[in-house]
Structure 1
Amino acid sequence: MSEAEQEIEKLLGLHPKGFDLSLDRITRLLDVLGNPHTKLPPIVHVAGTNGKGSVTAFCSALLEAGGLSVHVHTSPHLVNWHERYRMGVKGGRGQLVDDAVFADALRRVADANAGQKITVFEILTAVTFILFSEHPADAAILEVGLGGRFDATNVISNPAVSVIMPISLDHQPYLGDRVELIAAEKAGIMKPGLPVVIGHQEYDAALDVLTATAERLRCPTAVYGQDYSAHEEYGRLIYQDEFGLADLPLPRLPGRHQHANAAAAIRALKAAGFIVTEAMMEKAMLSVDWPGRLQRLSEGKLMAHAPAGAEIWVDGGHNPGAGEVIAEAMAGFEERQSRPLFLIIGMINTKDPVGYFKAFAGLAEKVFCVPIRHSDAMIDPVILANAAYDAGLVAEPMSTVGEALDAIRQALSTDATAPRILIGGSLYLVGDVLSDNGTPPK
């Protein structure tokens, strides 16, 4: 266990791990620390149910393609806590925070909090502001943890741009059980008179809330499909906005949904005042990286369990909206090469498993349901298999991912077409898989 991980273990023993949506505690703590959140480079603040991590990755790749240094805060992590803090490097790709620097910031924040009631996420967010304020960079990208209005990152008062990505049902106990209620929470990151970019919205009710809020706050606003767009044409990505058109390579991140994510990132950086050239866009489409989201495993320890020639993909998407875009991506792969699709899924009990699984009905041959290690909130594999059955899928509980891969291998005849296997349903499961496979994010 690293020095920083030891400090976090101490904090987890003292403070609750979950969310307690309020800005009072983080505001008090930051005041003691000298308000480091007011001393950051230009900020891109990103919220949304799905796609916020991808648009964060695109924004980072675009700015780095222009030679700028970019701090990036994301959550949760997959394998190591350090993944939440990528520190900007001038002229190169950002690097995960140094362990000693991370540990020092954790201790300073914990000392400043002086044992008062707070969540670990709030402490980690204060650490973000300490790290990003004390190490110069050209830009900072902050991904919202949960919701928006009362998320700990929303102490930011003057973002260069606020970005709202696709909104669907998730975290209903915290955010509400209708998309318009969730949209209202996400819209809470908008600031009066400052630019807003709205990503592709499947639900008109969500879009109506977002545009009405932006209009009320008199925010300069760009909406996907109205003010900017992207589509595939002859194997290229065509991006268009009021400033012109760009003919680009398809994004390195697979799935048609990434076209809209790339477009939102381009438009957001323009709204924030950054110069975004076509050369930067081209380079970013080919260099963008976002581990654990439609990531293909090509090497590692788990490959030995899989059938020969199998494709193995991991994706941490876990709500119905994510299920739809992942299923669409899997179906798109089928067009290029027909393979039977198997799912290995683990989920936690705050999610909607039936809603997630419905997207794969008629597409997946079988679902193997597995536990998530070290999670009291995991759905029992037997119960999860019943949810898959209710969604119209054939399902079976398994003890481990390795056991599920073995079962797929044993079920296929030697002359069968090598399968496509999706492991997902939870970022926690994907983190376990990447760790076991020996391929953690770097």
Structure 2
Amino acid sequence: MTYSQALEYIHSFRPFVPNPELDRLLPLLNALGNPQDQLKFIHVAGTNGKGSTVTMCAKILTLSGYRCGVFTSPYVVDFRERFQVDGEMISQQELAALVEALRPILEEMKTRNQFVNEFDVVTAIGFLYFLSKGCNIVCLEVGLGGIHDSTNVIKTPLAEIITSISLDHTRVLGDTIEEIAAKKAGIIKPNSDCVCYPRQHLDAIAVLMEQCAKTGSRLHLANPNQVQIIRSDLTGSAFFYAGKTYEISLVGAHQVYNAVTVIQTMELLRQKGFVLPGSAITEGLKETRFSARFQILRQNPVVVVDGAHNPEGLQALSQTLQMIQQKKNLIVGMMADKDYGHSLQAVCRQADEVICVPIQNPRAVRPELLAELAEGVCPSVSVIRNLSEAFQTALDRSGEQDYIIVCGSFFLAGEMIPIIKNRL
């Protein structure tokens, strides 16, 4: 089986199946010898900050000498981003071999009317891969929600992390913070340790506390008032916490609190026997880079790609854009299942020009509709349906000191990054 054939086979499975229960995945994992039961995990759920948090944790663990796997979703450019060990993606040959081994089992399950979805298959591949690579620990990011997510088949992890919770995927998870938090809290296992983002919504904290009480688990929550931000600009942030000064390269004050969540998690792992030098923590936080999180791809003009796509994420991006005094040209595309109205306007309000573009996805918003919304808050709005042309137009309209910001969706980021890199 070739790599392209492996991807085609993975994508042949439905994104979702009617049965939301995790027992749909158990026959597959049982046939594979339950690889998930032979691994140790940090399990991460939340609305925003999951990918950044997972990546920071993994960087610190790798620098501390542990073989660390990362399972993340979604990918931005390359499907193999989902499976990484010590910062390296799975090879095309390894992925094809794993899919080839899985295929007979999956086909036999179909004959017994045992159906799994695409993310189930991806999750099983991840478990097999991390076990085969001898990972000491895996940073495991949920795909959607928590309680019914495929990753929740694992037993009690070393730690659960709940990142910032806000409104997103409301059609699936609920339309209140409490309802969404209840789905995310579903990853909290009996007698476990849950680390919570310090600036969590109070309604979400109440739900998490209730779940911890039900399961006999411990909730670890840093006091945000103990965090002193020394510097926060377009190069990252410096902050003081628990008697030490740290630096991060990820942009935005919200990333400071993601970093504090990671520091709390590392302290918890120390208590469980992991040897994590202070230097690994400080260097790991400082060295972490993450695709499509205010990722600067070129200078003169500065070109930034940011995958923020829901209200909280776009509000954070809007605050970051306020730091930029130069002209800002935005290239924007969004998905229809997001609260794109107010979110879009919050970002476009900071822009001098906005170019609305399509995304090659059936759930994408028509760029003409995005333009209508942007026209009320930005002085110059246009629609360009070809992404290469949109980028060239933004370049033509920008001076060497100006900024071009691609934002609104990870899907758009994935399409635009190769176009931008081809122009470097």
TM-score by length of structure 2 reads 0.90
**Pairing 1:178-189 to 2, within 5 Å after superposition:** 178-189=176-187
| Equivalent residue, structure 2, for 1:62 | 60
Give 1:421's aligned amino acid: I
**Pairing 1:339-418 to 2, within 5 Å after superposition:** 339-360=326-347, 362-373=349-360, 375-389=361-375, 394-411=380-397, 418=401
Question: Is it true that 1:237 corresponds to 2:238 in the alignment?
Answer: yes
| Equivalent residue, structure 2, for 1:95 | 88
User: Is the partner of 1:186 in helix, strand or coil?
Assistant: helix
- Structure 2 vs 1, CA of residues 179 and 389 (structure 1 numbering), >3 Å: closer, same or farther? farther
- Structure 2 vs 1, CA of residues 22 and 422 (structure 1 numbering), >3 Å: closer, same or farther? farther
Count of matched residue pairs:
409
Once residues 426 and 234 of structure 1 are traced to their aligned partners in structure 2, the CA distance between those partners, rounded to angstroms, is 28
Give 1:131's aligned amino acid: Y
Cα deviation per residue 1:188-207 (whole Å; 9 max; x = unaligned)?
00011111000134522122
Once residues 394 and 322 of structure 1 are traced to their aligned partners in structure 2, the CA distance between those partners, rounded to angstroms, is 24
TM-score by length of structure 1 reads 0.87
Cα deviation per residue 1:138-174 (whole Å; 9 max; x = unaligned)?
2110000000000000001110000000011111111
**RMSD of Structure 2 on Structure 1 (CA):** 2.2
- Structure 2 vs 1, CA of residues 66 and 230 (structure 1 numbering), >3 Å: closer, same or farther? farther
| Equivalent residue, structure 2, for 1:35 | 34
Cα deviation per residue 1:343-378 (whole Å; 9 max; x = unaligned)?
1111122111113223225421232110113x1221
- Judge conservation of contact 1:229–1:263 (CA < 8 Å) in 2: no
Give 1:324's aligned amino acid: Q
- Judge conservation of contact 2:384–2:390 (CA < 8 Å) in 1: yes
- Structure 2 vs 1, CA of residues 393 and 177 (structure 1 numbering), >3 Å: closer, same or farther? farther
- Judge conservation of contact 1:340–1:420 (CA < 8 Å) in 2: yes
| Equivalent residue, structure 2, for 1:295 | 295
Which deviates more from structure 2 when the two are superposed, residues 180-189 or residues 399-408? 399-408
Once residues 420 and 101 of structure 1 are traced to their aligned partners in structure 2, the CA distance between those partners, rounded to angstroms, is 39
- Structure 2 vs 1, CA of residues 10 and 393 (structure 1 numbering), >3 Å: closer, same or farther? farther
Once residues 139 and 343 of structure 1 are traced to their aligned partners in structure 2, the CA distance between those partners, rounded to angstroms, is 39
Give 2:165's aligned amino acid: I
**Pairing 1:239-318 to 2, within 5 Å after superposition:** 239-240=240-241, 244-248=242-246, 250-272=247-269, 273=272, 274-298=274-298, 309-318=300-309
User: Is the partner of 1:430 in helix, strand or coil?
Assistant: helix
Once residues 395 and 122 of structure 2 are traced to their aligned partners in structure 1, the CA distance between those partners, rounded to angstroms, is 42
User: Is the partner of 1:112 in helix, strand or coil?
Assistant: helix
- Judge conservation of contact 1:46–1:164 (CA < 8 Å) in 2: yes
CA positional deviation for 1:133: 1.7
- Structure 2 vs 1, CA of residues 349 and 19 (structure 1 numbering), >3 Å: closer, same or farther? farther
| Equivalent residue, structure 2, for 1:305 | none
Once residues 214 and 196 of structure 1 are traced to their aligned partners in structure 2, the CA distance between those partners, rounded to angstroms, is 8
User: Is the partner of 1:343 in helix, strand or coil?
Assistant: strand
- Judge conservation of contact 1:45–1:144 (CA < 8 Å) in 2: yes
**Pairing 1:420-435 to 2, within 5 Å after superposition:** 420-435=403-418
- Judge conservation of contact 1:238–1:245 (CA < 8 Å) in 2: no
Once residues 384 and 56 of structure 2 are traced to their aligned partners in structure 1, the CA distance between those partners, rounded to angstroms, is 36
User: Is the partner of 2:99 in helix, strand or coil?
Assistant: helix
- Structure 2 vs 1, CA of residues 411 and 238 (structure 1 numbering), >3 Å: closer, same or farther? closer
- Judge conservation of contact 1:353–1:388 (CA < 8 Å) in 2: no
Give 1:25's aligned amino acid: R
- Structure 2 vs 1, CA of residues 297 and 270 (structure 1 numbering), >3 Å: closer, same or farther? same
Once residues 227 and 61 of structure 2 are traced to their aligned partners in structure 1, the CA distance between those partners, rounded to angstroms, is 19
- Structure 2 vs 1, CA of residues 420 and 135 (structure 1 numbering), >3 Å: closer, same or farther? same
CA positional deviation for 1:225: 2.4
- Structure 2 vs 1, CA of residues 284 and 215 (structure 1 numbering), >3 Å: closer, same or farther? same
User: Is the partner of 1:359 in helix, strand or coil?
Assistant: helix
Once residues 411 and 95 of structure 1 are traced to their aligned partners in structure 2, the CA distance between those partners, rounded to angstroms, is 37
Once residues 303 and 389 of structure 2 are traced to their aligned partners in structure 1, the CA distance between those partners, rounded to angstroms, is 15
| Equivalent residue, structure 2, for 1:119 | 117
- Judge conservation of contact 1:191–1:219 (CA < 8 Å) in 2: yes
Q: List runs of 5+ in structure 2 lacking aligned partners.
A: none
Once residues 229 and 287 of structure 1 are traced to their aligned partners in structure 2, the CA distance between those partners, rounded to angstroms, is 23
Once residues 310 and 234 of structure 1 are traced to their aligned partners in structure 2, the CA distance between those partners, rounded to angstroms, is 24
Once residues 36 and 420 of structure 2 are traced to their aligned partners in structure 1, the CA distance between those partners, rounded to angstroms, is 37
Question: Structure 1 vs Structure 2: percent identity of aligned residues?
Answer: 29
- Judge conservation of contact 2:354–2:378 (CA < 8 Å) in 1: no
User: Is the partner of 2:205 in helix, strand or coil?
Assistant: helix
CA positional deviation for 1:7: 1.3
Give 2:229's aligned amino acid: E
User: Is the partner of 1:107 in helix, strand or coil?
Assistant: helix
| Equivalent residue, structure 2, for 1:306 | none
User: Is the partner of 1:221 in helix, strand or coil?
Assistant: strand
Once residues 343 and 263 of structure 1 are traced to their aligned partners in structure 2, the CA distance between those partners, rounded to angstroms, is 31
CA positional deviation for 1:19: 6.5
- Judge conservation of contact 2:348–2:354 (CA < 8 Å) in 1: no
**Pairing 1:117-156 to 2, within 5 Å after superposition:** 117-156=115-154
CA positional deviation for 1:234: 5.9
CA positional deviation for 1:268: 1.2
Once residues 18 and 424 of structure 1 are traced to their aligned partners in structure 2, the CA distance between those partners, rounded to angstroms, is 27
Once residues 28 and 390 of structure 1 are traced to their aligned partners in structure 2, the CA distance between those partners, rounded to angstroms, is 53
- Judge conservation of contact 1:239–1:263 (CA < 8 Å) in 2: no
- Structure 2 vs 1, CA of residues 60 and 265 (structure 1 numbering), >3 Å: closer, same or farther? same
- Structure 2 vs 1, CA of residues 280 and 127 (structure 1 numbering), >3 Å: closer, same or farther? same
Which deviates more from structure 2 when the two are superposed, residues 107-116 or residues 385-394? 385-394
Once residues 239 and 136 of structure 2 are traced to their aligned partners in structure 1, the CA distance between those partners, rounded to angstroms, is 28
Once residues 28 and 226 of structure 2 are traced to their aligned partners in structure 1, the CA distance between those partners, rounded to angstroms, is 41
